[in-house]
């Protein structure tokens, strides 16, 4: 640029970017985020129940307001480990039912810029997009409702 002539900048912001309020949590030693609007409740996990009889999904049943709710280890579903360190559960609605996903710990609440994953080859069930929590590492934005639907569909299809 020349002195006194000025400089022109052009910035394009993709329309696919959205700012969303999220809960940040840890599972299997990794950070993940989930939109606050999809979480119905956060539960403290006491002793876990036994796995549901005849289930191929590693699920337990926990009591929530006098009703049994399936508890699925998110760590096991994402193949991050055995899920032994889970201390909290995120309760999400799946149609008329609710499902709880066991996680290690909550990290906080914040607003993030979410970038959807548009490449069909990188699209995985339950992953809505990615974000950066400020540490420079990409963090996955999870859709636990879709993940629950995928688990139930997979369970029903397995003979």
**Mean pLDDT, rounded, of the chain:** 79
Q: Is 125 exposed, middle or buried (0-12, 13-18, 19+ CB in 10 A)?
A: middle
Among 85, 61, 63, smallest CA distance to 75 is for 85
Mean pLDDT calculated for residue range 27-43? 91
Q: What percent of the chain has pLDDT over 90?
A: 21
């Amino acid at each position: 640029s020349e002195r006194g002539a000025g400089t022109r900048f052009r910035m394009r912001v993709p329309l696919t970017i959205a700012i969303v309020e999220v809960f940040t949590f840890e599972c299997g030693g990794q950070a993940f985020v989930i939109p606050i609007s999809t979480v119905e409740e956060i539960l403290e996990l006491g002793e876990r129940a036994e796995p549901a009889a005849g289930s191929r999904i590693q699920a337990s049943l926990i009591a929530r307001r006098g009703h049994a709710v399936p508890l699925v280890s998110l760590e096991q579903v994402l193949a991050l480990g055995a899920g032994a360190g889970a201390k909290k559960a995120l309760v999400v609605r799946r149609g008329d039912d609710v499902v709880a996903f066991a996680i290690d710990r909550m990290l906080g609440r914040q607003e993030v810029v979410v970038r959807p994953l548009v490449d069909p080859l990188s699209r995985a069930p339950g992953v809505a997009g990615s974000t950066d929590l400020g540490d420079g590492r990409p963090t996955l934005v999870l859709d636990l409702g879709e993940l629950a639907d995928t688990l139930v569909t997979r369970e029903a299809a397995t003979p």
